[in-house]
Amino acid sequence: MHHAVRLPDLLRAWRATAGKESQSGKPLPQKEVAQRMAVSERWYRSLESDAGVPLTPEVLNRLATALTLGTDERLALFGHVYVNGGHGSVPAPKEQDAAQVALARWFTAQEHLATYRVDHAWNVVGHSETMATWFPWVLEPGANLLRWALTTPAAREQLADWPMHAAAYLSQLRFSLATSPHHEQLSTLLDELLEDPECRALWEREPRVLAYRQGHVFKLRLPHVSDEDIIVTSQILLPAYQPEIRHVLLLPL
């Protein structure tokens, strides 16, 4: 099953959220969104019906303001329109290779920290020795962060307040699908994750999108590393010209 996150679906979900925030209890009417944007209701209906309405950065800003979107939602909106519209820039293969070598060298210098790199489908493509000590699963062939975090008993034990983590990871996956709706690996991964009843319930509960968990503070239970819980903050680095790779450092507090 293909799980592309379509722009009309996002807009309807965001209208519903905006309605809740205004305490009306009902989705924000299309007419009101159109009025806030200073466009016709017909124009906005066409946008929600996926009629291929052209969207400029100025119009996207008005749309985001009308729906009272936060930072993550704005990133999802602009990413959906511009990354998928062919406006993204991809470096030449030689530039990619050089960037990967430089990043690998940088991460080698951070071996005392728990660090890892994942691609757009959340596959682990690199990690420090400390990360492997904390989380040996990264050494397994095909290691995938979301698959581990959302489907394994170990994750439920090691990630304190697992439901909170699960909801956040699913929201990040929704963001990835929104900005890359035709990414087969992401769609296949979601199919697998939704086989878990708890994950399905969290996925269907609210259509939240989350771009990154920058600066997020959370608790880890790693008895093979420490008798006490380890509190860390996540710091995320996004290399220029390689937005499909994210580098995460777990910094102990």
pLDDT at 4 over 70: no
Averaged pLDDT of the chain: 83
Q: Mean pLDDT, to the nearest integer, of 180-197?
A: 89
Buried b (16+ CB within 10 A) or exposed e, 17-40: bbbeeeeeeebbebebbbebbebe
Residue 25: band (very low, low, confident or very high) from pLDDT cuts 50, 70, 90: confident
Residue 60: band (very low, low, confident or very high) from pLDDT cuts 50, 70, 90: confident
pLDDT at 118: 93
Considering Cα of 113, then 117, then 118, then 123, what sign does the dihedral take?
negative
In this structure, CATH architecture of domain 93-252: 2-Layer Sandwich (3.30)
7-68: CATH topology: 434 Repressor (Amino-terminal Domain) (1.10.260)
- For the chain, which residues make up each domain, given as ranges? 7-68, 93-252
Q: Do domains 7-68 and 93-252 have the same CATH topology?
A: no
3-state secondary structure 196-230: CHHHHHHHHHCCCCCCCCCCCEEEECCCCCCCCCE
